Structure 1
Amino acid sequence: MSYDYLIVGAGYAGAVLAERLASQRGARCLVIDRRDHIGGNSHDHYDAAGVLLHTYGPHYFRTNSDRIREYLSQFTEWHAVEYKILSWTNGRYWQFPINLNTFEQIIGRPSTSEEMEATLAEWRVPIAEPKNSEEVIISQVGTKLYEMFFKNYTRKQWRRDPQELDASVCGRIPVRINRDDRYLSEKFQALPKEGYTAMFRRILAHPNIEVRLKTDYREARQQISYRHLIYTGPIDEYFDHCYGPLPYRSLRFEPETLQQEYFQPAMQVNYPNDHDFTRIVELKHATGQKLPVTTIVREYPEDFGPGREPYYPIPAPDARALYQRYADRAAAEKGVSFVGRLATYRYYNMDQVVGMALAEFDRLASLPSS
């Protein structure tokens, strides 16, 4: 068989590029994935109790981009939701991310934004240019709150001290001096109304797109002809780990179905200082499903190794330096596009991967041979 594009990976990067190339350029696309499902890590499914679960951990879609929202809206309706989480430490639930409500819990009485700002100014450690995750948090809220909510959670998640990790790791989490207790700040926050997997089915439904699951791309490359390769897998794997394996963190999920409507007061509860798991997710709070039972999922960070999925690139200087060697080699590769989280070794949100795929489509469409 002959195709215009061989696309490795049926997640956002691969699916969006396949759809755009097929629908806008009339290209024949073969999308392959070694897993037995589409959707990449955004895949969702109904468990035996009928509860909709995100197979690979919670995926909270949000974006500030009208282009990305409008693009995906061709393939799904939306269930609007404001993602709310709590943190469990010192034997109680705390509002999180840190906001005025959290501050009032700490001081034990009503307060104001002005008092919170003045108090944080006293607690902060003055660091003009934070260079790592510890410095970015203590420069925002001081040592006490850093140790309550961030220090041990980060150690569990990454198996590295926050001092060893880029400032961006903890810098992703907002600190607010108002009562906005949403986990995320983007203007559009929602879940696909019928789930992510249903949305991906529609994205990949074009007649010019063929999907093959449980398929290894090395074997596929031997068996078919194509003009251009779009690769969304781990970049070090593409180059046979010639410079050594890139470091990742993996995860283990332990679901439990309970004969009660809800287990916890929020969609997600973080456990920075208790237990081996980092969080318990109860997705029913976000999806709005009406069921007499619930399923919770405990999430355990693990070392990456054989048989485990690479979830999180390690955001640290040594990992970034190793990736750069692979990136330089990828830049010289002819007829190949490296797109997505694993292929660029960056922790991107879902909307950012969609945006990257749309940008790569624009680039490919501008080439004379496209």
Structure 2
Amino acid sequence: MFDWLIVGAGFAGSVLAERLASQRGDKVLVIDKRSHIAGNAYDRHDAAGILMHQYGPHIFHTNSQAVFDHLSAFTEWRPYEHRVLAHVDGQLLPIPINRTTINSLYGKSFTTEAETEAFLQTLAEPVDEIRTSEDVVVSRVGRELYERFFRGYTRKQWGVDPSELDKSVTARVPTRVNDDDRYFGDRYQFMPAAGYTRMFERMLDHPRITVMLSTNFADVRKHIPHRRLIFTGPVDEYYDFRYGRLPYRSLRFEHVTLDKPWHQPVGVVNYPQTEDYTRVTEYKHLTGQEHPKTSLTYERSAAEGEPYYPVPRPENALLYKRYEALADAERDVWFVGRLATYRYYNMDQVVGQALSTFRRIEEALPVPPAGRQVGMAAAAP
């Protein structure tokens, strides 16, 4: 008999498994339908010996000291500030749009934030109410930059026009009037020094945690005795699609190794105007690995396949509310993570949600001090 059955060995499931085992002394079984732990953050050494991300680039960044401190118990860190270039009009230009982007694209020589802001104001179009992703961009940088940088990329990524997507999608990407070319502005920007998979291995290395891979929940849910359940998969799948399927976007990855040391000047290059792929990732920029060859991933979005991103549209939010009502009525079942709560979360947000869920579990199911068997899953590296 397990105290907990946790479905999914990604961030949500693994963080909760470690907390439940190390802080409460609970007996935990973690299952995953894939043949590996770490979820979409899984990384591995390819045939050339290059550390690459199986499911596209995962860049850790957060403003939460609590999240950073928690994960620091399971990994050392490599400082890394992510930079992305967009292939626009035959040039490689910084994205998010900044002063360098504007100067290069328009032949300007702005040197101050005030000059750049004033120019952007001449491009911006007034929008009465910002509701969609198109509204966000057009109201800030105007239609020309929207067409060049955002519309084509968003159509490829999401399968619909930005005018049909919630404002939250493009609101994630800032516009800068200085020369800051970092993709993120968070306080903590690092990569796990030995990779994500190693961090997950440390997290799950506890005598009261059992891991079963290549295991489908539907095949074992009635056969493994457990008191409580944590589900991190798609919430509509849990309920056998009772109200219909929630829309997700899937991804296709083409991994290649080239017999040369470098291919592109930054970790990721976006292709908003050309090509059928959305972006190309070169992993040695991210990991700092030295190698005579280089490995890349060409990423394409797809309507069918493994679910990766909930599609933020009003009708989808309404459908999710019906599933959320079912989930809220459950006893001894917790739904955690991007797919289970139909939210477009970053990695650090999933960790934060898992830690918050653990606190709620502690409040709902207090364990007497004498019953606890406390100890971290792994010593700090």
Unmatched segments (≥5 aa) in structure 1: none
Residues of 2 paired with 1:325 and 1:104: CA distance?
49
What's the CA shift for 1:128?
4.2
Q: Identify the residue that residue 52 of structure 1 maps to in structure 2.
A: 51
Q: Which residue of 2 aligns with 1:338?
A: 335
**Aligned amino acid, residue 365 of structure 1:** E
Whole-Å separation in 1 of the counterparts to 2:125 and 2:268: 29
Residue 357 (1) aligns with residue 364 (2)? no
Paired letter, 1:221: R
1:80 corresponds in structure 2 to 79
- Corresponding residue number in structure 2 for 1:328: 325
* CA–CA distance in structure 2, aligned partners of residues 16 and 312 of structure 1: 21
Trace 1:219-298 onto structure 2 (pairs within 5 A): 219-298=219-298
1:22 counterpart residue number: 21
Write the letter of the residue equivalent to 2:209.
I
What letter corresponds to residue 325 of structure 1 in structure 2?
A: R
CA distance in 2, matches of 1:42, 1:255: 16
Which residue does the alignment assign to 1:315?
312
Q: Which residue is equivalent to 2:143? A: 143
SS in 1 for 2:222: helix
- Deviations along 1:118-174, one digit per CA (max 9) or x if unpaired, are 111111111243110001000010011101100010001111011100001111001
The range that moved more, 250-259 or 217-226, is 217-226
Residue of structure 2 equivalent to 1:192: 192
User: Counterpart of 2:140 in 1: which secondary structure?
Assistant: helix
Amino acid at match of 2:358: F
Q: Deviations over 1:320-360 (max 9, x none)?
A: 11111100111111110000001001110000000000011
Q: Does the alignment pair 1:115 with 2:112? A: no
- 1:164 and 1:67 map into 2 onto residues whose CA distance is 36
Distance 2:141 2:247 in 1: 30
- Quote how far apart the aligned CAs of 1:369 are: 5.5
Shift of 1:66: 0.7
| SS of equivalent to 1:292 | coil
Q: For the residues of structure 1 that align with 2:270 and 2:197, how far apart are their CA atoms?
A: 26
Give me the whole-angstrom Cα distance separating, in 2, the residues matched to 1:100 and 1:316.
Answer: 32
After superposition, the C-alpha distances for 1:1-26 in whole angstroms (9 at most, x for unaligned) are x0100000000110000000000000
Alignment partners' CA distance in 1, 2:329 and 2:358: 19
For residues 369 and 95 of structure 1, the distance between their equivalents in structure 2, rounded to whole angstroms, comes to 50
Deviations 1:48-101 (A, max 9, x none): 011111111110101101110000000000001000010001111111110111
Please give the alpha-carbon distance, in whole angstroms, between the structure 2 residues aligned to 1:211 and 1:249. Answer: 28
CA distance in structure 2 between the partners assigned to 1:109 and 1:137 by the alignment: 21
TM norm structure 1: 0.97
Q: How does 1:96-115 map to 2 (within 5 A)?
A: 96-111=95-110, 112-115=112-115
3-state secondary structure, aligned to 1:250: strand
Counterpart CA distance in 1 for 2:175 and 2:321 is: 32
Q: Deviations over 1:229-281 (max 9, x none)?
A: 00000000000001011111111111111111100111000000101000011
In the aligned structure 2, how far is the partner of 1:269 from the partner of 1:133?
21
Q: Matches of 1:93 and 1:64 in 2, distance apart?
A: 29
The alignment-based identity, stated in percent, is: 52
Letter in 2 for 1:339: V
Structure 2 partner of 1:66: 65
2:324 maps to a residue whose letter is A
1:347 alignment partner in structure 2: 344
List gaps (5 residues or longer) in structure 2. Answer: 368-381
What residue in structure 1 maps to residue 88 of structure 2?
Answer: 89
The SS at the match of 2:178 is coil
Match of 2:302 in 1: 302
User: How far, CA to CA, are the matches of 2:307 and 2:224 in structure 1?
Assistant: 27
The alignment of Structure 1 onto Structure 2 pairs a total of residues equal to: 366
